[in-house]
Amino acid sequence: MARTSVKIGIIMLALWIIPVIGVALALTGLVIALVSHSNLKNDMSRAGIFLNSLGLGLALLNITVTFYLLITGDFDPARLLDQLEQLN
């Protein structure tokens, strides 16, 4: 189970930029790593806890920053699309 949590952690670190997927994978991997750590207490379970905790933090930071930008009005998807169209 420890290897599974490490694999989930590695995949999740690549997908934390998509908050829904990042949080779901991080929580799944963290639960698996904690269960494995309670039984084995080996380095793989510690690595799984670290990777999934790091990814969960990054995904939550992404959600927080996105909401902040949306609330303050600094992030306007329509304006961003207009700027991208002007580049072409």
Per-domain residue ranges for the chain?
2-87
49 C-beta neighbours (distance < 10 Å), count = 21
Residues 6 or more apart whose Cβ sits within 8 Å of residue 28: 8
Q: Average pLDDT for residues 7-24, to the nearest whole number?
A: 89
Q: What is the pLDDT of residue 81?
A: 84
pLDDT tens for residues 24-63? 999 999 999 999 999 888 899 999 999 999 999 999 999 9
